[in-house]
Amino acid sequence: MTKFETTLAILGFGGSFVAAILFLAFSWTTVRKLKKKPETKDGLGFEYVSGWNILNAAQALSIPRFITKKFKSTALSFLYADADLLYHHTNKFDKLLARFFYLVYITAGLSLILLVILKSTGFFE
């Protein structure tokens, strides 16, 4: 294994483990609180499978505001969480936890995808 391959594997698998722990922490601290409030319950976006609204909330609190405004103006806006509503009903810790979780989640996923693509094309041989 090359150093680059090892680094991608550690980022992918280690990041997935950390992301799973942060997923639970974010859902217990923030999303549970948002689900209990009637005004924010419907602002978490469409839930494909159980727990998808946790990812929607983390995404809405993590990505830049101009992107969430573009999401809001599309016909598929019901799929995404309402970022303005979530910003209003969360504190700084919730936002920080959401950003950290989403960053680790995306980094781990992209590292694993890149590892698979590079491995299948024979880059490491």
Q: Quick one: 77 exposed, middle or buried, by C-beta within 10 A (0-12, 13-18, 19+)?
A: middle
Q: Which two tokens stand for residue 82?
A: 């309402």
The mean pLDDT value for 15-34 works out to 94
* pLDDT score at 83: 87
pLDDT tier for residue 45 given thresholds of 50, 70 and 90:
confident
CB 59 within 8 A of CB 81: yes
Q: Which two tokens stand for residue 27?
A: 């859902």
**What is the residue extent of each domain of the chain?**
3-120
SS3 2: coil
Rounded-to-integer distance, Cα 33 and Cα 30, Å: 5
Residue that the structure tokens 């601290």 belong to: 29
Q: Which stretch of 16-25, 44-53, 95-104 has the lowest confidence by average pLDDT? A: 44-53
pLDDT single digits (tens) 101-117:
999 999 999 999 999 99
Residue 28 above 90 pLDDT? Answer: yes
Of 21, 6, 3, nearest to 104 by C-alpha is 21
pLDDT tier for residue 1 given thresholds of 50, 70 and 90:
confident
pLDDT single digits (tens) 46-96:
878 888 889 989 999 999 988 888 877 888 877 888 888 899 999 999 999
Rounded-to-integer distance, Cα 89 and Cα 112, Å: 34
Q: Which stretch of 18-22, 38-42, 116-120 has the lowest confidence by average pLDDT? A: 38-42
